[in-house]
Amino acid sequence: MQSAVEFRNISKAFGAVQANADVSFAIAKGSIHGVIGENGAGKSTLMSILYGYYNADSGQVLIDGQPRDIRTSHEAIALGIGMVHQHFMLVENMTVLDNVMLGNEGGFKLAATRGAVEAKLREICDRYRLDVDPLATIHDLSVGAQQRVEILKQIYRSADILILDEPTAVLTAQETASLFEILRLFKDQGKTIILITHKLQEIMEITDEVTVMRAGRVVGAVKTAETSKEQLANMMVGRPIQSELPRAPYNPGAEVLKVSNLQLKDTNGVALLSDIDFTVRAGEVVAIAGVSGNGQSELLEILSGMRLPTAGRVDFVGQPLPYADRANADGLPATFRALGIGHVPEDRLRDGVIKDFSVMQNTVFGYQDKVKNRWGLFDYKKIAQRCAHLMTAFDVRPNNPDLRIGLLSGGNQQKVVIAREVAAQPKLMLVGQPTRGVDIGTIESIHTQLLRLRDEGVAILLSSVELEEVRALADRIIVMCGGRIAGILPVDEFDTTRIGLLMGGMHKS
């Protein structure tokens, strides 16, 4: 079968780090090809070389059998290569039409081409069942519709090879199914799709072939029909992965957190949270399921002290949290940490680490008063010993405490944040998107640590857009939609379709 893309002996290094080492494999024309691997395996670097972001140190890329020296993204687009990024590249206050035309205006007289472009977009939407209105404003569209806009942009630019980076990270189960229908239709039209994802179930469902990378090299290439999730996971991490992690029987203790009639409005008076009521008990994991942007982030920000509620009450181990004592949230996170509330923020780079500081320094941020000596000075020996213990216990790689944390992979940064919060021995742990953008081996490690905390009697409230993660960790599930609780159910009643409908506001519990 003819290859749409072929990599021949691609190598790329960043200083002493060898991101790609002699990578060779081919992607069949008119196929859906999965590329999987742990964080830092070299997948994104390889795709960036194909899309012209990076230039390989050595090796060759062939497009439709012809060697191509792709130096820029403009050259990649001209060769029919398109890329849909994990974080959408859209201007939210502009229309779909305007976003598609950006960079392709066709001259100074925009009005002369707008009508023709709109007509072409409507024809593409009909052919590929994209269900997007070209005149709709981006901020009025759902996350799933915004992703379809990104695909629309690539088809409009005549992309025959489409790279998708973690395309379902923020989609409901229904939106994922819709996306897969579009990709299959795309394939039926003779297009080629390259799918980068950590979700092995999706690989098994949608791809024809899979290439597995580890430590910058190709370690396996198989037909999807001839493999399994377990075999792929083993190839990715070099060892078997436990599908079901051990956990003690569900036996919750005393009430740790009680949220009553919590309300939040923005500066314009728009309700972001309404009528939020729930509890979390010791030795219990309560997971919040929902599409991003439905109030989960604001809820965790309030409970961690980063934001003040508009109304309502939050009790922690029987005492009200002191929101009413302050005009703003300054100082509240430190107060809440001192009370015994740990927090793993959903955006680790913005709120969880300081990327220009070392790993060692990041292990004490927020808890620096606990590592001072009797004279009030930092006990650097104690800090170093503490860091060494945490890096070993949480398998942070590379095990170099002096390394700038921004140089670690996202999964290892997440391990550092979780290690720091666990070391504080909290009574309540708030966790936002615990495994967003991390590989299957790191997911197993993080889940193991969270379940260990639960079994030790810590109350855990976590938010995740991954329903399989919710199922794997939760004792009870809160489903949120539009800033409200759409339903609360025990994990024994877990049903993907039902939860997806609740997440979309189309069903009542």
The string of pLDDT tens digits covering residues 435-454 is 876 778 888 889 999 999 99
* Residue among 504, 502, 497, 444 nearest 469 (CA): 444
Element spanning 451, H or E = helix 440-455
Edge-first strand order for the sheet with 255-265 is 271-281, 255-265, 311-316, 319-320
- State the pLDDT confidence band at 166, using cuts at 50, 70 and 90: confident
Q: What's the pLDDT score for residue 113?
A: 76
DSSP code at position 378: B
Q: Are 319 and 339 in contact (CB under 8 A)?
A: no
- State the pLDDT confidence band at 362, using cuts at 50, 70 and 90: very high
φ/ψ (deg, to 5) at 217 = -120, 160
pLDDT above 70 covers a percentage of the chain that reads 96
Lowest mean pLDDT among 113-127, 182-196, 300-314, 347-361: 113-127
SS3 234: helix
Q: Cα separation of 308 and 398, whole Å?
A: 38
In this prediction, residues 77-85 reach a mean pLDDT of 90
CATH no. for 242-340+426-509: 3.40.50.300
pLDDT of 464 over the 70 cut: yes
- Angle 410-423/380-393 helices, nearest 10 degrees? 120
In this predicted model, what pLDDT tens digit does every residue of 337-354 receive, in sequence order? Answer: 999 999 999 888 889 999
Tokens of 475: 């004792």
User: Domain map of the chain by residue range?
Assistant: 3-237, 242-340+426-509, 352-424
pLDDT above 90 covers a percentage of the chain that reads 56
In this predicted model, what pLDDT tens digit does every residue of 3-60 receive, in sequence order? Answer: 999 999 999 998 777 889 999 999 999 999 999 988 778 888 899 999 998 999 999 9
Q: Cα separation of 440 and 170, whole Å?
A: 18
The yes-or-no answer to whether 3-237 and 242-340+426-509 have a common fold is: yes
Q: Cα separation of 151 and 124, whole Å?
A: 10
Tokens of 209: 């072939």
Q: Candidates 3.10.20.30, 3.40.50.1000, 1.10.510.10, 3.40.50.300; correct CATH number of 3-237?
A: 3.40.50.300
In this predicted model, what pLDDT tens digit does every residue of 213-250 receive, in sequence order? Answer: 988 999 999 999 999 988 998 888 887 777 678 889 99
pLDDT of 319 over the 80 cut: yes
Alpha helices, DSSP H only, in 79-228? 96-101, 110-128, 143-156, 173-188, 200-206
Highest mean pLDDT among 176-190, 366-380, 478-492: 478-492
In this prediction, residues 251-271 reach a mean pLDDT of 95
Q: Are 284 and 454 in contact (CB under 8 A)?
A: yes
Interacting residues of 355 by C-beta distance below 8 A, sequence separation 6+: 349, 404, 405, 406
* Beta carbons within 10 angstroms of residue 108's beta carbon: 6
pLDDT of 411 over the 70 cut: yes
Q: Are 100 and 121 in contact (CB under 8 A)?
A: yes
Does residue 129 come out as left (phi exceeding 0), alpha (psi in the -120 to 50 range) or beta?
left
The pTM of the whole model exceeds 0.95? no
Q: Cα separation of 127 and 117, whole Å?
A: 15
In this prediction, residues 404-415 reach a mean pLDDT of 84
Locate tokens 């997911």: which residue? 443
Burial of 107 (0-12, 13-18, 19+ CB in 10 A): exposed
- State the pLDDT confidence band at 105, using cuts at 50, 70 and 90: low
* Residue among 294, 328, 291, 292 nearest 309 (CA): 328
Average pLDDT, the chain: 89
In this prediction, residues 252-264 reach a mean pLDDT of 97
Q: What's the pLDDT score for residue 237?
A: 82
* Residue among 174, 178, 120 nearest 152 (CA): 120
At position 142, the amino acid (one-letter code) is S
Q: What's the pLDDT score for residue 170?
A: 64
